């Protein structure tokens, strides 16, 4: 499964009864809320507290690139705090759109496991914090689309063969009827860099967490099956083997490489590893690399003041070092 | 010098007084002439005799690709014989346009050395064969452009940096005024595959061999200087270093590669070797490889009945094996 499903994410939106939604909360109110939620969370397990105001833009964007926080979370850093578990699988954004955005992210397809972790933490938090909840509507959230379970479940899919066959947009248009949405993870185009897609549930009202997860799991499995079939179909083509092999060759030798090209080459290599054409690398090491070569991650590693060109050189240096 | 000048070639055109030019000679006459010239040549030094009729088309084209014979020589194989010295530096085409086309080919820039070898053999042959010679016109040849010395001297140049800077066509238009011509070796376009060019003298009447060679040598040296300057200028560019490095990476990993792409990648690598960016290869080994990956040479090595696609696969296999 992990050949296609890179990771699973569960996100719960929660709000505290006695506070207005963040959009209506002043700076002091936000800080009070950050302290309150942090105290509650830390009494349950060990979290690193990161007050977003203390981060540089590069550091903040690097966290977005690692999928630990949302892009929205860094649009305004004042009064916002991130809690991050030691293993970085659990993050809590305080004062994003809702007071609490609790996220669990795990490798591979493991919706139940990720949900159980999120659910357990949610239960423990609810014993210490008074969540806004209506018997009729479920959990109250600022945006009506999150009402009900307040849950978004998503899986990150590597649909390299389906993308090569230009099949993703056809699939995409059918998914909304099933209450799901699929979108490119890097770039909003129909052919996102790296062929990485996020499939997530859209409906949170009038549906249980369990059935939302089951629905997502069924569709994800179906997409995995389609992707694997497409891979088996194209992987006898010498052209595809050629592309995979050259992609690794280029990554190992380039002296200058931009984000988009690196993503697409890594995607090809990932396909090769999954299909056992490439044996010198693992899926895990590639997934880590994909995260590490993102623009802000490169800047964080090699220096904030790099020009775009210098960053592309550092990215190439980094890839050569890791892959050779 | 050999960074830029791949090889030097001297060709002498000679005809026997008592025979009509090949175009007017019947098959028996041609065969008689083949025997006669072969006998004379073999009494001077050891040659392999190859009657062109006995070669397959692939074998014949492979010899053209190795620059041992002219394309014209294989347009009709009847009554044509090739004599090839053991080290393959001397070849004698019998019944090409003229009765005798004697060619000496050597690595690097060595016009005098190559001419001396050709001249010595020519002198020895003239003691055994009665060459058509006029005091007024010099050696008589079928085509008036070869009258006089009957000599064409040429050098094969690797003008990779000048080609990248699109400077060759400008140079080309000035050369004809100097009695010289430059043309792409693989393909007649202004940007021939592999950036390999042949610079040769055009004038053979009213000029001594020595002054023709001096003229060619001076211009070749000037082109070498320009090319080296251009290399020094671009070789600080990370883009060029990137191109060189990737080119080798692709050649080492491709599973399918056509002639044109392989030539251009090898040209980039050759530039890298010359400029000491690539240290794992030598110019000689690359020049050998460039000859070995030519279409008919691949067919000769791997089988005459390959499709174009199969040939591109074999070419990639061969390159990977040689370069890894």
Lookup: tokens for A72: 């929205």
Cβ-proximal residues to A246 (8 Å cutoff; 6+ apart), any chain: B249, B250, B253, B254, B255
pLDDT tens track for B282-299: 999 999 999 999 999 999
Q: Which chain A residue has its CA at the smallest distance from B256's CA?
A: A242
How many angstroms separate the CA atoms of A238 and A250, rounded? Answer: 18
* C-alpha distance from B163 to closest chain A C-alpha (Å): 22
Query: Which of A66-75, A166-175, B53-62, B208-217 shows the lowest per-residue confidence on average (mean pLDDT)?
Result: A166-175
Is A5 an interface residue toward B (CB < 8 Å)? no
Query: Stretch A8-34: mean pLDDT, rounded?
Result: 96
pLDDT band of residue A178 (cuts 50, 70, 90) is confident
pLDDT band of residue A232 (cuts 50, 70, 90) is very high
Q: Which one of B250, B258, B281 would you mutate to disrupt binding with A, by most A Cβ within 10 Å of its Cβ?
A: B250
Query: Stretch A291-312: mean pLDDT, rounded?
Result: 94
Question: In the prediction, which pLDDT does A187 show?
Answer: 62
Query: Stretch B231-249: mean pLDDT, rounded?
Result: 93
Question: In the prediction, which pLDDT does A42 show?
Answer: 98
Question: In the prediction, which pLDDT does A172 show?
Answer: 82
* Whole-Å CA distances, B25 to A259, B18, B20, B97, B171: 67, 11, 6, 11, 41
Question: In the prediction, which pLDDT does B188 show?
Answer: 59
Instruction: State yes or no: pLDDT of A191 exceeds 80.
Output: no
Report domain extents, chain B.
5-230, 238-323
Q: Which one of A243, A244, A250, A268 would you mutate to disrupt binding with B, by most B Cβ within 10 Å of its Cβ?
A: A250
Mean per-residue pLDDT of chain B: 94
**Among A219, A230, A104, CA closest to A167:** A230
Query: Stretch A212-224: mean pLDDT, rounded?
Result: 94
Query: Do the Cβ atoms of B255 and A238 come within 8 Å?
Result: yes
Q: 3-state SS string over A25-86?
A: CCHHHHHHHHHHHHHHHHCCCCEEEEEHHHCCHHHHHHHHHCCCCCHHHHCCCCCCEEEEEC
Instruction: State yes or no: pLDDT of B138 exceeds 70.
Output: yes
Instruction: State yes or no: pLDDT of A116 exceeds 70.
Output: yes
Query: Stretch B178-193: mean pLDDT, rounded?
Result: 80
pLDDT band of residue A166 (cuts 50, 70, 90) is confident
| pLDDT above 90: percentage of residues in chain B | 85
Q: Is B189 exposed, middle or buried (CB count within 10 Å of its CB: 0-12, 13-18, 19+)?
A: exposed
DSSP count for chain B of H helices, then E strands: 11, 10
The residue assigned the tokens 């305004």 is: A76
Is B239 an interface residue toward A (CB < 8 Å)? yes
Instruction: State yes or no: pLDDT of B69 exceeds 70.
Output: yes
How many angstroms separate the CA atoms of B273 and A196, rounded? Answer: 38
Cβ-proximal residues to B152 (8 Å cutoff; 6+ apart), any chain: B9, B10, B11, B13, B146, B200, B201, B204
Q: Which chain A residue has its CA at the smallest distance from B257's CA?
A: A242
Question: In the prediction, which pLDDT does B190 show?
Answer: 65
Q: Which of A241, A250, A309 sits opposite B250 (nearest CB)?
A: A250
The helix-helix angle for A111-128 and A209-234 (nearest 10°) equals 150
pLDDT band of residue A189 (cuts 50, 70, 90) is low
How many angstroms separate the CA atoms of B237 and B252, rounded? Answer: 23
How many angstroms separate the CA atoms of B79 and B31, rounded? Answer: 5
End-to-end Cα spacing for chain A: 27
Cβ-proximal residues to B273 (8 Å cutoff; 6+ apart), any chain: B279, B281, B282, B283, B286
Could you write out the DSSP letters of every residue in B183-196? Answer: EESSSSSSS-GGGE
Query: Do the Cβ atoms of A242 and B254 come within 8 Å?
Result: yes
Cβ-proximal residues to B110 (8 Å cutoff; 6+ apart), any chain: B8
Query: Stretch B260-273: mean pLDDT, rounded?
Result: 96
The answer to whether the CB of B223 falls within 8 A of the CB of B232 is no
Instruction: State yes or no: pLDDT of A284 exceeds 70.
Output: yes
Q: What is the helix (H) or strand (E) element at residue B312, kind and residue range? A: helix B308-323
Count chain A–chain B contacts defined by CB atoms under 8 A.
50
Query: Stretch B163-167: mean pLDDT, rounded?
Result: 86
Query: Do the Cβ atoms of A245 and B255 come within 8 Å?
Result: yes
Q: Which CATH class for the B5-230 domain?
A: alpha beta
* Whole-Å CA distances, A6 to A70, A105, A235: 18, 10, 20
Question: In the prediction, which pLDDT does B171 show?
Answer: 83
Bridge partners of A11, per DSSP, are A103, A152
Q: Which of A245, A253, A316 sits opposite B254 (nearest CB)?
A: A245
Query: Do the Cβ atoms of B255 and A242 come within 8 Å?
Result: yes
**Among B122, B85, B108, CA closest to B155:** B108
Question: In the prediction, which pLDDT does B187 show?
Answer: 62
pLDDT tens track for A61-84: 999 999 999 999 999 999 999 999
Query: Which of A200-204, B87-91, B149-153 shows the lowest per-residue confidence on average (mean pLDDT)?
Result: A200-204
Lookup: tokens for A2: 């992990």
List of E strands, chain B = 5-14, 47-51, 81-85, 90-94, 100-107, 133-134, 138-139, 151-158, 180-184, 196-201
pLDDT tens track for A262-273: 999 999 999 999
* C-alpha distance from B230 to closest chain A C-alpha (Å): 21
ipTM of the complex: 0.86
Instruction: State yes or no: pLDDT of A7 exceeds 80.
Output: yes
Question: In the prediction, which pLDDT does A190 show?
Answer: 65
pLDDT tens track for A98-108: 999 999 999 99
Radius of gyration of chain B (CA): 21
Angle of CA points B241, B247, B250, to nearest 5°: 140
Q: What are the start-end ranges of the H helices in chain A? A: 27-42, 57-65, 111-128, 160-164, 168-175, 209-234, 238-253, 259-274, 283-292, 295-302, 308-323
How many angstroms separate the CA atoms of A20 and A203, rounded? Answer: 24
How many angstroms separate the CA atoms of B243 and B201, rounded? Answer: 34
Q: Report the sign of the C-alpha dihedral through residues B203, B205, B210, B215, in that order.
A: negative
Mean per-residue pLDDT of chain A: 94
pTM for the complete prediction? 0.89
pLDDT band of residue A255 (cuts 50, 70, 90) is very high
Chain-centroid distance of CA A21 in Å reads 24
Query: Stretch B220-227: mean pLDDT, rounded?
Result: 94
| pLDDT above 70: percentage of residues in chain A | 98
Is A278 an interface residue toward B (CB < 8 Å)? no
Query: Do the Cβ atoms of A253 and B249 come within 8 Å?
Result: yes
């Amino acid at each position: 499964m992990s050949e296609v499903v890179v990771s699973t994410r569960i996100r719960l939106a929660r709000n505290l009864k006695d506070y207005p939604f963040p959009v209506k909360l002043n700076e002091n109110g936000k800080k009070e809320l950050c302290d309150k939620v942090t105290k509650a969370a830390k009494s349950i397990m060990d979290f690193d507290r990161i007050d977003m105001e203390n981060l540089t833009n590069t550091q903040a964007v690097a966290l977005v690139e690692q999928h630990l926080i949302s892009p929205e979370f860094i649009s305004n850093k004042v009064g916002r705090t991130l809690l991050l578990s030691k293993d970085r699988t659990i993050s809590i954004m305080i004062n994003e759109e809702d007071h609490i955005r609790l996220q669990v992210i795990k490798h591979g397809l493991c919706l139940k496991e990720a949900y159980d972790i999120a659910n357990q933490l949610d239960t423990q938090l609810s014993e210490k914090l008074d969540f806004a909840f209506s018997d009729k509507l479920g959990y109250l959230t600022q945006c009506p689309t999150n009402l009900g379970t307040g849950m978004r479940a998503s899986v990150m899919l590597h649909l390299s063969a389906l993308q090569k066959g230009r099949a993703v947009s056809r699939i995409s248009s059918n998914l909304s009827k099933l209450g799901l949405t699929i979108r490119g993870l890097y770039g909003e185009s129909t052919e996102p860099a790296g062929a990485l897609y996020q499939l997530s549930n859209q409906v949170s009202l009038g549906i249980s967490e369990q059935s939302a997860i089951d629905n997502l799991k069924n569709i994800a499995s179906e997409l995995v099956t389609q992707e694997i079939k497409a891979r088996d179909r194209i992987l006898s083509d010498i052209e595809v083997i050629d592309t995979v092999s050259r992609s690794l060759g280029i990554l190992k030798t380039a002296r200058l490489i931009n984000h988009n090209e690196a993503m697409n080459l890594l995607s090809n290599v990932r396909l090769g590893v999954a299909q056992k054409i490439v044996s010198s690398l693992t899926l895990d090491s590639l997934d880590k690399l994909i995260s590490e070569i993102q623009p802000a991650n490169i800047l964080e590693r090699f220096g904030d003041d790099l020009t775009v060109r210098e960053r592309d050189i550092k990215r190439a240096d980094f890839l050569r070092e890791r892959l050779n």
